[in-house]
């Protein structure tokens, strides 16, 4: 299967060569090449370090875009991103690893417009059928039918959701399908999607076919701009490898609105998906039912108030469905109506209750989140973020957890001896209260300096952790240093990162990473 | 650990992507994106991903998610149960690709995908723990046009 896939994809890329090529004078080559060598070393307890492997590793990254016009309005582009590496931190593979390959041809002039996409791309038909990045071949065309009042778009594609070009196996997940979309001045937007999926793992097959119809129609009623939309999808196939063939359906209906006279927007949505409605490429929760009501109001000051209420029922058809009710209110506001750059404030409250039919699940949670950004005069700015979350398991008295987090920092920009300097001291405190209390407290300091082609940055952090068991307490410090020198298109730099963890009991862990790199940016028009 | 992994998986599954405003299934307009698209600088993507991961499990993470981010409440609720010391760190980044790009008044909005090798660090009764994984992230990068 792998060899047939490799041949297939190579054939697709070769097919790309059959597309009209731009003349040499119209080629533009843009991108960057980065060579990096880095060393990882851990002294003491290796299990407590962030680095799983020690040693010296290297990689060379190439990001490249080649583009050109074949003629006015018609264009061709090729993207490539890949690496040559022996670093386990950079890639799971050694050697040459192509990561992104995509060829796009657009024809906007000369007959009906169309586009050909070969390689890595985002295929977003609908959340009920397929929304995924695929390695695929796709043909999109816009037939000139229906005159000025109606436009058509057609998508035909085939590809796989495999993430690795070298290990690609169509048998592990192959999608094919089409989407037809019609936009009509009177009827609104209408369309159909048809997606097939097949996969074979360890001899067990999985096949799915998903078909959907959708529509969206806007209308004005009583001073409101309304839009009614929805999608209904049918699935036939397996929900797991080797499973029996089943059929099921799902869909949603949504009403969006906006007042024509007031700064009010709102939305109502209802979703319902059958037990076996689990499209492999979709983004829905099988066997669920959901309701959403939300609204927002924008004040003249620029402040915005948003609120939502949702109910989600999961495992709906089983003996023990679980309901989750959530209410959320959020406000964001600029600190100055006339100067949004002055800063902003946001606050958000969320209340949630979860409960199942048999009483096995019964919990409440409340969370408050907020933050403020203030840009003072004379290069000063302040940032504060805070969150409090409380969770109660009503089935187990005493099983409560409360988490409090706050972080604050102040930034000062100034010039010193020709250097543009930024200094940001800060502090972060986190506390959790459950059976016992845990606390982390840590100051941080970030420094950055820039002059002409030189950039230097440094970060220092210290964290102290007090756990329920004093033996689990530890102190952790971090130092990061980075320097870069730029000369034209060349950028040369080094960086060092050190983590020192000192537990109250046991062995300390001293982890180092140091790297040097050279990046070359290129942007050349040939001819 | 399960909660933190759930949050990680949710983050990967949902992508750091706001909702597409177009009607479902609507293919993009026939503009010549292949010529007009300006790939986002990989260094900008790396800085953005590092900044995003550094706020994970901190009070600043909510601000990194758009108010209309799909599954936002679910993700934040799952994250609220993560161990206090849990941190996500960027070990390596590759596969950077600018998927789509639209121009709005005064700004260039790009959808960028990138594959990040991440390390999850946390403490439990067994002491310090480390889990390595790979996630595909989809970022919305907004570049303001220079003001005159």
User: What distance in Å separates the CA atoms of residue B15 and residue B49, rounded to the nearest whole number?
Assistant: 12
**Are the C-beta atoms of residues B90 and B50 closer than 8 Å to each other?**
yes
Structure-model confidence comparison of residues B8 and B99, the more confident one: B99
- Record the tokens describing residue B66, joined without a space: 């758009």
Chain A residues lying within 8 Å of B96, measured CB to CB:
63, 81, 100
**Helix B2-14 to helix B72-80 angle, to the nearest 10 degrees?**
160
At B8 the pLDDT is: 36
pLDDT in tens, A106-142: 888 777 889 999 999 989 899 999 998 899 999 999 8
- Record the tokens describing residue A432, joined without a space: 């959790």
Smallest CA-to-CA distance from A211 within A189, A244, A187, A237 is with A237
pLDDT in tens, A47-68: 889 999 999 999 999 999 998 8
Sign of the torsion angle spanned by Cα atoms A337, A340, A341, A347 = positive
Contact state of B60 with A407 under an 8 Å Cβ cutoff = yes
Confidence of residue A9 (pLDDT cuts 50, 70, 90): very low
Interchain CB contact of A47 with B (< 8 Å) = yes
The nearest alpha carbon in chain A to B126 belongs to A472
- A450, pLDDT greater than 90: yes
Interchain CB contact of B126 with A (< 8 Å) = no
- For residue A499, the SS3 value is strand
User: What distance in Å separates the CA atoms of residue A271 and residue A267, rounded to the nearest whole number?
Assistant: 13
User: What distance in Å separates the CA atoms of residue B140 and residue B104, rounded to the nearest whole number?
Assistant: 13
pLDDT in tens, A244-279: 999 999 999 999 999 999 999 999 999 999 999 999
HSE at residue A491, side-chain half, CA atoms within 13 A, is: 17
Average pLDDT, chain A: 90
Listed in sequence order, the residues at least 6 apart from A124 whose beta carbon sits closer than 8 Å to its beta carbon are A130, A131, B20
Query: Which of A75, A92, A154 lies nearest to residue B32, judging by beta carbons?
Result: A75
Structure-model confidence comparison of residues A3 and B79, the more confident one: B79
HSE at residue A342, side-chain half, CA atoms within 13 A, is: 9
Alpha carbon distance, N-terminus to C-terminus of chain B: 50
CA torsion A256-A259-A263-A268 (nearest 10°) is: -20
Q: Is A509 exposed, middle or buried (0-12, 13-18, 19+ CB in 10 A)?
A: buried
Chain A residues lying within 8 Å of B70, measured CB to CB:
283
**Are the C-beta atoms of residues A352 and A364 closer than 8 Å to each other?**
yes
CA of A294 to nearest chain B CA: how many angstroms apart?
11
* Residue A14, φ and ψ in degrees, nearest 5: -65, -40
CA of A377 to nearest chain B CA: how many angstroms apart?
20
What does DSSP assign to residue B61?
A: H
User: What distance in Å separates the CA atoms of residue B15 and residue B8, rounded to the nearest whole number?
Assistant: 10
Interchain CB contact of A405 with B (< 8 Å) = yes
Phi-psi category of residue A154: left, alpha or beta, with phi > 0 → left and psi -120 to 50 → alpha: beta
At B109 the pLDDT is: 86
Chain A stretch 496-525, residues whose beta carbon is closer than 8 A to a beta carbon of chain B: 501, 506, 509, 519
Q: What is the separation of C-alpha B74 from the centre of its chain, rounded to a whole number of angstroms?
A: 16
- A449, pLDDT greater than 90: yes
- Record the tokens describing residue A419, joined without a space: 């250097």
Q: What predicted TM-score, i.e. pTM, was given to this entire model?
A: 0.83
User: What distance in Å separates the CA atoms of residue A319 and residue A504, rounded to the nearest whole number?
Assistant: 49
How much of chain B exceeds pLDDT 70, in percent? 71
At A23 the pLDDT is: 56
Contact state of B115 with A163 under an 8 Å Cβ cutoff = yes
Interchain CB contact of A348 with B (< 8 Å) = yes
Chain A residues lying within 8 Å of B39, measured CB to CB:
30-31, 63, 65, 79
Confidence of residue A477 (pLDDT cuts 50, 70, 90): very high
Structure-model confidence comparison of residues A31 and A21, the more confident one: A31
- Record the tokens describing residue A67, joined without a space: 């583009």
- For residue A149, the SS3 value is helix
Q: What is the separation of C-alpha A504 from the centre of its chain, rounded to a whole number of angstroms?
A: 38
How much of chain A exceeds pLDDT 90, in percent? 71
**What mean pLDDT comes out for the span B93-116?**
87
Contact state of B85 with A440 under an 8 Å Cβ cutoff = yes
Contact state of B123 with A403 under an 8 Å Cβ cutoff = no
ipTM: 0.80
**Sheet arrangement for strand B127-144:** B87-104, B107-124, B127-144
- A2, pLDDT greater than 80: no
Query: Which of A52, A63, A330 lies nearest to residue B132, judging by beta carbons?
Result: A52
Listed in sequence order, the residues at least 6 apart from A3 whose beta carbon sits closer than 8 Å to its beta carbon are none
Least confident of A13-22, A377-386, A491-500: A13-22
At B127 the pLDDT is: 82
- A13, pLDDT greater than 50: no
Contact state of A391 with B81 under an 8 Å Cβ cutoff = yes
User: What distance in Å separates the CA atoms of residue A337 and residue A89, rounded to the nearest whole number?
Assistant: 46
Contact state of B39 with A90 under an 8 Å Cβ cutoff = no
- B146, pLDDT greater than 80: no
User: What distance in Å separates the CA atoms of residue A292 and residue A297, rounded to the nearest whole number?
Assistant: 17
Confidence of residue B123 (pLDDT cuts 50, 70, 90): confident
- For residue B78, the SS3 value is helix
At B10 the pLDDT is: 34
At A470 the pLDDT is: 83
Confidence of residue A335 (pLDDT cuts 50, 70, 90): very high
At A334 the pLDDT is: 94
At B80 the pLDDT is: 75
- A285, pLDDT greater than 80: yes
Average pLDDT, chain B: 73
**What mean pLDDT comes out for the span A465-470?**
83
Residue length of chain A? 527
At A458 the pLDDT is: 96
At B22 the pLDDT is: 34
Confidence of residue B4 (pLDDT cuts 50, 70, 90): very low
- A75, pLDDT greater than 60: yes
Confidence of residue B103 (pLDDT cuts 50, 70, 90): confident
Hunting for tokens 């028009």 — which residue is that? A525
Chain A residues lying within 8 Å of B123, measured CB to CB:
465, 467, 472
Chain B residues lying within 8 Å of A50, measured CB to CB:
89, 91, 119, 121, 130
Confidence of residue A453 (pLDDT cuts 50, 70, 90): very high
pLDDT in tens, B46-82: 989 998 898 898 878 887 887 667 677 778 878 877 8
Smallest CA-to-CA distance from A80 within A168, A176, A13 is with A13
Query: Which of A89, A104, A126 lies nearest to residue B25, judging by beta carbons?
Result: A126
Contact state of A48 with B76 under an 8 Å Cβ cutoff = no
pLDDT in tens, A388-431: 999 898 888 877 888 899 999 999 999 998 999 999 999 999 89
At A281 the pLDDT is: 93
- A243, pLDDT greater than 60: yes
Query: Which of B34, B41, B59 lies nearest to residue A75, judging by beta carbons?
Result: B34
- A373, pLDDT greater than 70: yes
Hunting for tokens 């806007």 — which residue is that? A218
Contact state of A371 with B63 under an 8 Å Cβ cutoff = yes
Contact state of A153 with B26 under an 8 Å Cβ cutoff = yes
**What mean pLDDT comes out for the span A302-318?**
94
Beta strands at A419-433 and A400-416: parallel, antiparallel or unpaired:
antiparallel
**What mean pLDDT comes out for the span A137-165?**
89
HSE at residue A136, side-chain half, CA atoms within 13 A, is: 25
Confidence of residue B6 (pLDDT cuts 50, 70, 90): very low
Listed in sequence order, the residues at least 6 apart from A417 whose beta carbon sits closer than 8 Å to its beta carbon are none
CA of B25 to nearest chain A CA: how many angstroms apart?
4
Interchain CB contact of A367 with B (< 8 Å) = yes
């Amino acid at each position: 299967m792998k060899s047939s896939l490799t041949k297939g994809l190579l054939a697709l890329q070769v097919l790309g060569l059959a597309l009209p090529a731009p003349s040499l004078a119209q080629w533009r080559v843009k991108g960057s090449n980065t060579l990096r060598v880095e060393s990882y070393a851990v002294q003491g307890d290796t299990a407590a370090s962030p680095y799983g492997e020690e040693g010296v590793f290297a990689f060379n990254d190439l990001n490249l875009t080649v583009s050109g016009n074949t003629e006015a309005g018609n264009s061709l582009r090729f993207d490539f991103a890949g690496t040559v590496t022996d670093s386990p931190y950079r890639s799971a593979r050694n050697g040459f690893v192509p990561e992104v390959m995509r060829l796009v041809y657009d024809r906007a002039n000369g007959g009906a417009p169309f586009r050909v996409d070969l390689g890595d791309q985002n295929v977003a038909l609908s959340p009920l059928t397929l929304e995924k990045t695929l390695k695929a071949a796709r043909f999109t065309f816009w037939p000139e039918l229906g005159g000025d009042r109606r436009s058509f778009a057609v998508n035909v594609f085939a590809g796989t959701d495999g993430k690795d070009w070298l290990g690609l196996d169509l048998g592990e997940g192959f999608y094919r399908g089409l989407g037809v979309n019609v936009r009509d001045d009177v009827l609104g937007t209408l369309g159909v999607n048809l997606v097939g999926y097949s996969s074979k793992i360890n001899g067990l097959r999985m096949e799915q076919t998903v078909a959907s119809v959708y529509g969206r129609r806007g209308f004005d009623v009583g001073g409101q701009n309304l839009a009614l939309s929805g999608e209904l999808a049918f699935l036939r196939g397996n929900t797991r490898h080797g499973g029996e063939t089943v059929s099921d359906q799902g869909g949603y209906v949504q009403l969006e609105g906006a007042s024509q006279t007031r700064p009010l927007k709102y939305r109502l949505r209802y979703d319902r998906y059958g037990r076996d409605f689990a499209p492999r490429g979709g983004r829905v929760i099988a066997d669920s039912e959901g309701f959403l009501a939300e609204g927002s109001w924008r004040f003249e000051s620029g402040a915005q108030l948003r609120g939502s209420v949702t109910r989600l029922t999961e495992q709906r058809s089983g003996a023990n469905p679980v309901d989750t009710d959530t209410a959320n209110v959020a406000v964001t506001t600029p600190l100055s109506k006339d100067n949004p750059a002055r800063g902003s404030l946001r606050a958000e409250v969320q209340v949630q209750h979860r409960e199942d039919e048999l009483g096995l699940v019964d919990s409440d949670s409340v969370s408050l989140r907020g933050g403020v950004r203030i840009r003072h005069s004379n290069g000063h700015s302040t940032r504060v973020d805070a969150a409090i979350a409380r969770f109660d398991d009503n089935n187990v008295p005493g099983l409560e957890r409360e988490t409090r987090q706050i972080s604050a920092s102040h930034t000062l920009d100034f010039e010193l001896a020709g250097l543009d300097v930024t200094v940001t001291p800060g502090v972060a405190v986190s506390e959790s209260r459950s059976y016992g209390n845990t606390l982390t407290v840590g100051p941080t300091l970030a420094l950055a300096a820039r002059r002409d082609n030189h950039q230097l940055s440094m970060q220092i952090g210290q964290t102290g952790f007090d756990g329920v068991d004093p033996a689990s307490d530890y102190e952790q410090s971090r130092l990061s240093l980075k320097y870069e020198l730029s000369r034209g298109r060349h950028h040369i730099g080094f960086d060092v990162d050190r983590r020192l963890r000192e537990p109250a009991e046991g062995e300390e862990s001293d982890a180092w990473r140091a790297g040097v790199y050279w990046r070359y940016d290129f942007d050349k028009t040939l001819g | 650990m399960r909660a933190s992994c759930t949050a990680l998986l949710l983050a990967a599954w949902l992508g750091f992507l706001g909702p597409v405003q177009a009607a479902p299934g609507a293919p993009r307009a026939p503009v010549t994106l292949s010529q007009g698209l300006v790939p986002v600088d990989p260094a900008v993507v790396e800085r953005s991903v590092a900044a995003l991961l550094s706020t994970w499990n901190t009070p600043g993470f909510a601000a990194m998610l758009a108010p209309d981010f799909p599954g936002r409440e679910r993700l934040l609720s799952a994250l609220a149960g993560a161990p206090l010391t849990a941190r996500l760190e960027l070990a390596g980044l590759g596969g950077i690709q600018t998927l789509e790009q639209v121009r709005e008044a005064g700004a260039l909005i790009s959808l960028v995908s990138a594959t990040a090798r991440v390390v999850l660090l946390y403490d439990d009764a067994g002491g310090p723990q480390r889990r390595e994984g790979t996630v595909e992230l989809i970022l919305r990068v907004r570049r303001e046009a220079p003001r005159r």
